[in-house]
Structure 1
Amino acid sequence: MSAFTLAARDSRTMLRRNLLHARRYPSLTLNLLLTPIVLLLLFVYVFGDVMSAGIGGGGADRSAYLAYLVPGLLLMTIGSTTVGTAVSVSNDMTEGIVARFRTMAIHRGSVLIGHVVGSVLQSIASVVIVGAVAVALGFRAADATALEWLAALGLLVLVATALTWTAVGMGLASPNAEAASNNATPLFLLPLLSSAFVPLDAMPGWFQPIAEYQPFTPAIETLRGLLLGTGIGNDGWLAVAWCVGLAALGYRWSMVLFNRDPR
């Protein structure tokens, strides 16, 4: 059996372990998933009329702001899910299970790969749930072609992969689960400082560069362009570059920490 086959087998085993944990202990995932749904309901039903008027949708119709809001909430959902990944990785490192894995004849990186693949799958499942709630509220992307839907899914998977590797590094760098949760919180909060809720030109001038030159804004604008037909411009390339860069840095950071960790 080749080294690649052994690595794939061990990674599949670790993926199954993480999915079983998520199924048997769903409270963390559900708690993290509820926040984007609550924000969706809050902004649509409390602020929807005012916000819709502000972006040219007419004060009597929330649908314009709902359409504007959903792409940002989908990415926020991914960020929220990856917070749970950081906590799970930290738990593995502090509770001794990784020390046992190190004594077994398994591929060394399979432990982290199982976390990453499991987290990406959970992120996409969470996006589907939040998206279904948005559709129930009236969100529609009828003009999007099959190719645009496929590109949107690919972008979501790419974002989930980048944020997950970053979260894994945060979990490995944290001394306990509470610290891991706190360290990974920016992955959920950073979309609040992007174009997820209001357009960039509606922000104060001094704040616009902060919102514009960060990883979430290009990804959100690209997702809007794919699903709603708005202009994408350079945002597509910027989103891909951010995701590839974060994934590469997160992977390198995670592997360095995992290989030298004495716990």
Structure 2
Amino acid sequence: MDIQTHRGNVVMNTATMAYRNLLKTVHNPDRFMDVLVQPILFMVMFGYLFGGAIAGGVQAYLPTIVPGILIQTMLSAASGSGSQIREDLDSGVFDRFKSLPMAHIAPLAGQLFADSLRLLIATITSLATGYVMGWRPAAGFGWVVISGLLAIFTGWALSWIFALLGLLAKNATTVQSFSMITMLVLSFVSNAFIPIKSLAKPMQVVANLNPVTHVITAIRQMLATGSWTSEAVLVLVFGTGIVLIFAPLTVWAYNRNN
């Protein structure tokens, strides 16, 4: 088999595995809720419950909460890769994949590619819900797309960490528990829903060190000013660093399990 044919097989096998994982998302209520129901529910609930108390009204609160809910949804969607990989390993389906004439890396690559599509759905749902509620970014549609792509890239980079956790953890319950705690801490100890200055001094220090704070700040700046800021550069560098570190570790752990 020549190199071009081998690459073609890897691409086709990866696409098949990605399609399989997307079907699992559609038919699994928990996975489907992460990318479609959760952003709608949280946007409506947080907006109408806390908008008046925090910003004086829902319309004034939307520029704050839309990026916050968007990144919270990215965290939730990215964390799903770890539990799904662990469930597949525990069920023995990866062992069956090894007996098929397919590329060895295709199941892992398909999972990570499917994650990017799930993140895209979650992004569109989050932003569309904010728009229906009255959110109108000052920067225009082009910067909405750019900020959405930055959020998707951030979520995809984080999915490598959760995928590694799924490969190393003993069971899916451990992965789900860790993912939930991580999502809650990173989301709520940040500027996602409230101004950092309203927090106690020790919490302000933690929130300012939280990488999620920088991602949300970058997206808010882009949507407000229509410019690529230093915060956006920092987020891009940070996400690239995560991929460079955790992608090889994830592939190593995958090869060890298979």
**TM-score strictly above 0.5:** yes
Amino acid at match of 1:114: G
Within 5 Å, give how 1:1-263 maps onto structure 2: 1=2, 2=4, 3-23=6-26, 25-33=27-35, 34-52=37-55, 59=56, 61-141=57-137, 143-189=138-184, 190-229=186-225, 233-261=229-257
- Distance change (3 Å), C-alpha of 1:239 and 1:74: same
- Distance change (3 Å), C-alpha of 1:146 and 1:45: closer
Contact map agreement 2:18 2:113 (CA 8 A) in 1: yes
> d(CA) in 1 for partners of 2:117 and 2:131?
21
Amino acid at match of 2:22: L
Deviations 1:174-223 (A, max 9, x none): 22221121122244221211110112222222222211122211111111
> d(CA) in 1 for partners of 2:33 and 2:237?
31
Deviations 1:94-115 (A, max 9, x none): 1111112223332221111111
Contact map agreement 2:78 2:156 (CA 8 A) in 1: no
Amino acid at match of 1:164: S
Give the alignment's TM-score, normalised by structure 1. Answer: 0.88
Contact map agreement 1:85 1:168 (CA 8 A) in 2: yes
Q: 3-state SS of the aligned residue for 2:21?
A: helix
RMSD: 2.0
Amino acid at match of 2:47: V
Contact map agreement 2:218 2:232 (CA 8 A) in 1: yes
Deviations 1:213-260 (A, max 9, x none): 222111111111111228875311221122112222331221111111
The alpha-carbon deviation at position 147 of structure 1 amounts to 4.1
Q: Say which structure is richer in helix.
A: 2
The alpha-carbon deviation at position 68 of structure 1 amounts to 0.9
Deviations 1:120-168 (A, max 9, x none): 1112102212222221211111x22454233213202211211211121
- Distance change (3 Å), C-alpha of 1:153 and 1:131: closer
The number of equivalent residue pairs is 253
Contact map agreement 1:83 1:187 (CA 8 A) in 2: no
Contact map agreement 2:222 2:229 (CA 8 A) in 1: no
Q: 3-state SS of the aligned residue for 1:221?
A: helix
- Distance change (3 Å), C-alpha of 1:127 and 1:191: same
Contact map agreement 2:39 2:125 (CA 8 A) in 1: no
Deviations 1:23-78 (A, max 9, x none): 2x2301233343443332232212211100xxxxxx3x321112111101001111
User: Which region of structure 1 is more displaced relative to structure 2, 36-45 or 195-204?
Assistant: 36-45
Q: 3-state SS of the aligned residue for 1:106?
A: coil
- Give the fraction of aligned pairs with identical amino acids, expressed as a percent: 23
User: Which region of structure 1 is more displaced relative to structure 2, 122-131 or 34-43?
Assistant: 34-43
- Distance change (3 Å), C-alpha of 1:78 and 1:110: same
> d(CA) in 1 for partners of 2:209 and 2:187?
12
